[in-house]
Structure formats: structure tokens, C-alpha cells
Amino acid sequence: MSSTTRPPFRLNNSEFWTGVIGLGLGVFVIRSGLKLKLGTINDPGSGFMLFYLGLLMCAFAVSIILASVTEGGPTFGSRWEDVRWSKPVLIIACLIAYAFALEPLGFLIATIPLILLLLRIIDPVRWTLAVPLAVLAPVGVWWVLKHGLSIMLPTGTFEIG
């Protein structure tokens, strides 16, 4: 392996940057551990484990970074080659909006539009199928949970559900 020529290091190397993120997390964990107190060996404190975990994380992150520098790695672009990157982004956006809407609107009012959106914006399902499915699936589950298992889904400020 070492006989092959070393690929030049590029800044858009994704391995390198995920390693840097790992290193950052490791440093954060070490700091949290120190703040929580290490204690002594016969009575370890709350931060004892976190501190040493943080050290380990840094070690692994550094080894990932070193590997990325010496062996190179796929670029960010190559990770998303030939795929429709916009689709997951759309779903993520929908889910984040849903997270904000769930508490105030309640399960039924928030979930029916979410399912409808998901059915229509990724690989559109025809309306005649999408609408009944988006309405019936959440309502059905809600009904079974409420009456069968007496589990209450969030009702929201309108108290629907």
C-alpha cells in the first residue's frame, strides 16, 4: 500500500472534516468531564468516565484525520454523486416543520399534511390514492391507540384527538 504514490491532500476531503468534527466533540466531552469533577480513584466523580472517553474520542478522531491526510479520501461531492440529494433535504425540511407543528397543532392536524406532503413531493403518488391514504392511515392508528390501548397522542391547543 505504501508503495503507491501518496495522493495529494485536498481540502474537500470528507474524511478529514468528519475527523475534525469528531475531534471537536472529543474536546467538548473532555471539558464537560473536567467541569463535572473527576473525583478520586476510590470514589470516581461524575466527570471521570466522560473525561477519559473524551481523550479516547480525540485519539480516534486524530487517527481518522491522519489517515485522511496520508491515504486521502472521497470528496464531499463524490458522496452525493448520482443521487437525488434534494429529496432527503425535502424530507428533512418537512420533518423539522412537523416537529415544530406537532405540539401546538396536535397529532392529527400535524400528521395528515405531513403524510400528504411526503406522498406528493418525493415520487408523486396520484392524488386519488394520496389523499385517502394520508387521511386514513393517521386517523386509523390514532383510533386504534386511543380505543384499543388507551394511549393518547398529542391533542394540541385545539384539543382535537
Partner 1 sequence: MDVLTNVFHGFGVALLPVNLLYCFIGVFIGTLVGVLPGIGPISAMSLLLPVTLSGTPESGIIMMAGIYYGSMYGGSTTSILVNIPGEAASVVTCLDGHQMAKQGRAGPALGISALGSFIAGTFALIALMLVAPKLASVAIAFGPAEYFSLMVLGLVVLTFLTQGSMAKALLMACIGIVLGLVGLDSITAQPRLTFGRIELIDGIGLVPVVMGLFGLAEVLINTEQAIKRDVINAKITQLLPNKDDWKRSAGPIGRGTLMGFFLGILPGGGAVVASFASYALEKRLSKTPERFGHGAIEGVAGPEAANNAAAGGAFIPLMTLGIPPNVVMALLLGAFVIHGLQPGPLLITQNPGLFWGIVASMYIGNAMLLVLNLPLIGMWVKLLKLPYNVLFPLIVLFTIIGVYCSSNNVFDVYVMIAFGIIGYFMRKFGYEPAPLVLAFVLGPLLENNLRKSLILSQGDLMTFVERPISAACLVLAAILLIVPMLPSLRRKRELVALDEGA
Partner 2 sequence: MLRRNRIAFSLSIAAAAIATLGTATIVRAQDYPTKPITLIVPWPAGGSTDISMRAIADAASKHLGQPIAIDNKGGGGGTVGPATMAAAAKPDGYTISQIPITVFRLPLMQEVSWNPDKDFSYIIHLTGYTFGITTNAESQFKTWKDVVDFAKANPGKVTYATPGAGTSLHVGMEQIAAMAGIKLTQVPFKGGAETNAAVLGNHTMLQADSTGWRPLVDAGKLRLLMVWTDKRSPNFPDAPTLKESGYPMVYDSPFGIAGPKGMDPKIVAKLHDAFKKAIEDPAVIATLAKFDMIPNYKNTEDYKKFVVEVTASERKVIESIGLGKK
Question: Which member of 34, 127, 157, 160 binds partner 2 (CB under 8 A)?
Answer: 157
The whole-angstrom separation of Cα 13 and Cα 78 is 10
End-to-end Cα spacing for the chain: 62
Q: Map the footprint of partner 1 across residues 2-31, applying CB under 8 A.
A: 14-15, 18, 22, 25-26, 29
Nearest to 39 by CA among 31, 49, 30: 49
Nearest to 65 by CA among 23, 114, 3, 5: 23
For residue 143, state whether it binds partner 2 (rule: CB under 8 A): no
If you search the block for the grid coordinates 466522560, which residue do you land on?
50
The DSSP symbol for 1 reads -
- Residue 104 touches which of partner 1, partner 2, none (CB < 5 to 8 A by kind)? partner 2
Q: Give the count of beta carbons closer than 10 Å to the beta carbon of residue 30.
A: 20
Question: Which member of 9, 100, 127, 143 binds partner 2 (CB under 8 A)?
Answer: 100
Q: Map the footprint of partner 1 across residues 44-103, applying CB under 8 A.
A: 44-50, 53, 56-57, 60-61, 63-64, 67, 79-80, 82-85, 87-88, 91-92, 95-96, 98-99, 102-103
Least separation in angstroms between residue 47's CB and partner 2 is 15
The whole-angstrom separation of Cα 92 and Cα 67 is 31
Specify whether the CB–CB gap between 102 and 154 falls below 8 A.
yes
**Three-class SS state of 44:** strand
| Chain positions contacting partner 1, by CB under 8 A | 14-15, 18, 22, 25-26, 29, 32, 36, 40-50, 53, 56-57, 60-61, 63-64, 67, 79-80, 82-85, 87-88, 91-92, 95-96, 98-99, 102-103, 107, 111, 114-115, 118-119, 122-125, 129, 133-134, 137-138, 141, 145, 149-154
